[in-house]
Amino acid sequence: MKIFRLAVTAAALLLSLPATVQAQTTLRIGLAEDPDILDPTMARTYVGRIVFASFCDKLFDIDEKLNIVPQLALSHETSADGKEVTIKLRPGVKFHDGESLDAEAAKYSIERHLTMQGSFRKPELASVDRVEVVDPLTIKLGLKAPFSPLIAQLTDRAGMMVSPKAAKEAGDKFGLRPVCAGPYKFVERVQQDRMVFEKFADYWNKDNVFIDRIVFLPIVDATVRLANLKSGGLDLIERVLATDIKDVRTDSRLKLSTAIELGYQGITLNIGKDKAKGPLSQSAKVRQALDLSLDREAINQVVFNGEFKPGNQWVNPDHPYYQKAFPLRGRDVAKARALLNEAGVALPVSVDLMVPKGAETEAVAQVVQSMASESGFDMKIRVTEFATSLKQAEAGEYQAFMLAWSGRIDPDGNSYVFQKSGAPQNYSGWSDKEADKALDDGRLVTDQAQRKAIYEKLAKIVLEEKPLLYIYHRRILIAHTTKLEGYKQMPDGLVRVVGLKLK
């Protein structure tokens, strides 16, 4: 039925277009979820970032080697004391409504990220004290203190520029008809069905945009996504199941693009918001016992055919900021049981495990449930629609939450918003003064050795307290038809559309 529904939707969409448009090229992308709000200030989902990549350029971007490269900005310069960052903007950039992207517009966008009620960009730019217009194409960011991750933050949603005119007119409804400065402009969105974008004629890099329209279709079932790719209903799909890798590779009509993700997959544990005051929230020993119940390599083999990378930190083991002083430990059921005994809790320890709907996350949850039961845990799996799970996490309506993070190039982007006291994505409600100090200190220095030493202190605390159990790092799996040319997969998992061609 889902395959049929997609076919009907696609057919209806094509029939609704003028005859001249039907001849144009359309790239159809299958998404694993329906994104949240399409407002870069308010958005927080990985799948949303994939959509933003097609219509909302950033001040800076990254290349395959994680180098920061220009996008809407041409360059940046940091003062000797680290407290001022001057950014030169690219000339001739237009927003989708025809307004110019100048220094005033850039100042507006950054200040909107900082001041808008409910902004998820505010903690990412917390060090910014003021934004000054130096000249029509230059802004200067005055910082409260040196902030080493700043330019890295501007390679993501914090660096996305929105049209001041459109944003002021729309207010909190901006996400319903977003206006940015990217290669494609927004046409329509039908919730849980499709998002349509068309090529923007005045894009600054229009000579490298070769496809006329992009249609994003959220299809939760990975098997259905792959079936539609094979049948020609889709041109590209994200989050191919690891168990389907062989199937894709043996199909001459398809191509697989991969990279190990910058982010992590883990289980967030409710410590500070647990209304039930269960054993997990009250005792680090109980959390340590749950962690020792897990065999990460077995999870990788059973669910992912060994294609992913087991991990125990917020960066993967190949990352330059991975703390080798705290290597991955094996499963130890006897130690787990001993810790539960020391904690004096009654067995079995009942745990509400909230799991976003999806074949792989549900499979991981079932393996975790089985492993944890041998140590004395009763993990009660509660499958929840993704957007709903985020709302319940914010409200503290869970005890354990299987939550993924798509990752950032700087380690601060994988840690601060989840571990800092009171941070908006600290769903655990965990608070530790020494951890807070390490998180803040990591933002003050640029020397990698000094920063790594600071993050080692943080890792020691986090791995002891365990507000979050890091389990594995995905291999980003993007499959597309061989008719699509020029596709490259970056470690951030985004789908970049500039330069792509459809035969």
Instruction: Give the model's confidence band at 23: pLDDT under 50 very low, under 70 low, under 90 confident, else very high.
Output: low
Distances (CA, A) of 105 to 3, 93, 487: 43, 11, 32
Q: Which amino acid is at 128?
A: V
Q: 73 - beta bridge partners?
A: 89
3-state secondary structure string across 73-92: EEEEEECCCCCEEEEEECCC
CA distance 38 to 437: 33
Q: Give the separation between CA 258 and CA 262, rounded to whole angstroms.
A: 12
Residue 8 has pLDDT above 50, yes or no: no
CA angle 164, 165, 170 (to 5 degrees): 95
Query: Exposed, middle or buried: residue 253 (CB in 10 Å: 0-12, 13-18, 19+)?
Result: exposed
User: Residue 139: in which H helix or E strand, if any?
Assistant: strand 138-143
pTM, two decimals, is 0.81
At 415-435, the pLDDT tens digits run: 999 999 999 899 999 999 999
Burial class of residue 320 (count of CB atoms within 10 Å of its CB; 0-12, 13-18, 19+): exposed
The reported pLDDT for the residue numbered 9 is: 47
Count CB atoms within 10 A of the CB of residue 186: 22
Residues 6+ positions from 247 with CB-CB distance below 8 Å? 226
How many C-beta neighbours within 10 Å does residue 15 have?
8
15, pLDDT greater than 90: no
Asked if residue 476 lies in contact with residue 404, where contact means CB atoms within 8 angstroms, the answer is no
Closest C-alpha among 404, 448, 450 to residue 311: 404
pLDDT per position as a tens digit, 305-334 = 999 999 999 999 989 899 999 999 999 999
For residues 238-259, average pLDDT: 95
The alpha carbon of residue 257 and the mean position of all alpha carbons in its chain are separated, in whole angstroms, by 18
Mean pLDDT, the chain, whole residue set: 94
* DSSP 8-state assignment for residue 173: G
Residues whose CB falls within 8 Å of the CB of residue 473, separated by 6 or more in sequence, listed in order? 260, 261, 263, 264, 265, 308, 309, 310, 311, 316, 317
pLDDT in tens, 59-85: 999 998 889 999 999 999 999 999 999
Mean pLDDT of 265-272: 98
CA separation for the pair 435, 335 (Å, rounded): 26
**Percent helix / strand / coil, the chain, rounded to 5:** 35, 25, 40
